[in-house]
């Protein structure tokens, strides 16, 4: 985390040991709510604090900030491996922080990483089931697209009554048929981003961000035309 100095990543101020000898990490104090609280809570009081009028635009602008953080981390050879709305904090003034880099992996250290499977099954990319050797930057692209899916639908990308069912969904990563209230461009982007084949996903977090920004430009033109 200390290696990733970026406006959308909480900085580390100091490392040390507590009175009990255990390691202590002092980070910047940030106050706000997790993105998941806003995604799933239409009546959450933080909406009033933020003064948001256009919630879809707000969510998409938060998403672009998440992509900024990921693109920066990837430029440093680091992948997060646990992107989800719960791990994004929204401050009182709209600040966006990508939290919980505890599962982050340096790509040049993949061979030394434990072979256990890590991550959150509801958002997990299929190659994560093979262990760290198969993880790339496009794994985070999948996780980001799965996060966008939850933002748009208020449901996780992978659901099921049992862990086996959820992991089966992870393994197949079949395209989702979205309802009409999800904009077609964003639905296509989510399906592309969560493709089973990493080669079919947007090539980077930057590409994912630019696609969302392009949609926002189109949407603004369409709204302007409708008002006219």
Q: What is the DSSP string of 82-104?
A: ---GGGEEEETTS-EEE---TT-
The HSE-up count of residue 128 (CA atoms within 13 Å, CB side) is 30
C-alpha closest to that of 82 among 8, 152, 144? 144
Catalytic residue flag (residue 161): no
Q: Are 67 and 209 in contact (CB under 8 A)?
A: yes
DSSP state of 112: G
| Choice among 19, 82, 108, 180 that is catalytic | 82
Give the largest Cα separation in the chain, rounded.
Answer: 67
Residues that are catalytic: 82
């Amino acid at each position: 985390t200390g290696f990733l100095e970026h406006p959308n990543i909480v900085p580390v101020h100091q490392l040390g040991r507590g009175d009990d000898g255990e390691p202590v990490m002092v980070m910047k104090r940030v106050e706000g709510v997790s993105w998941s609280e806003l995604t799933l809570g239409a009546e959450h009081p933080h909406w009033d604090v933020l003064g948001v009028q256009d919630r879809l635009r707000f969510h998409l602008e938060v998403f672009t900030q998440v992509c900024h953080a990921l693109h920066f981390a990837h430029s440093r050879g680091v992948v997060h491996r646990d992107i989800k709305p719960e791990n994004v904090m929204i401050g009182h003034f709209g600040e966006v922080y990508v939290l919980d880099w505890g599962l982050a992996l340096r790509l040049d250290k993949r061979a030394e990483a434990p072979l256990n499977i890590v991550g959150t099954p509801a958002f997990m990319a299929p190659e994560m089931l093979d262990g760290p050797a198969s993880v790339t930057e496009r794994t985070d692209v999948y996780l980001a697209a799965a996060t966008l899916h939850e933002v748009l639908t208020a449901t996780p990308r992978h659901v099921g009554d049992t862990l086996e069912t959820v992991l089966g969904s992870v393994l197949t990563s079949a395209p989702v048929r979205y309802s009409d209230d999800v904009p077609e461009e964003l639905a296509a982007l989510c399906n592309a981003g969560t493709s089973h084949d990493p080669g079919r996903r947007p090539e980077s977090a930057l590409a994912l961000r630019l696609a969302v920004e392009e949609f926002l430009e189109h949407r603004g033109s369409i709204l302007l035309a409708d008002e006219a």
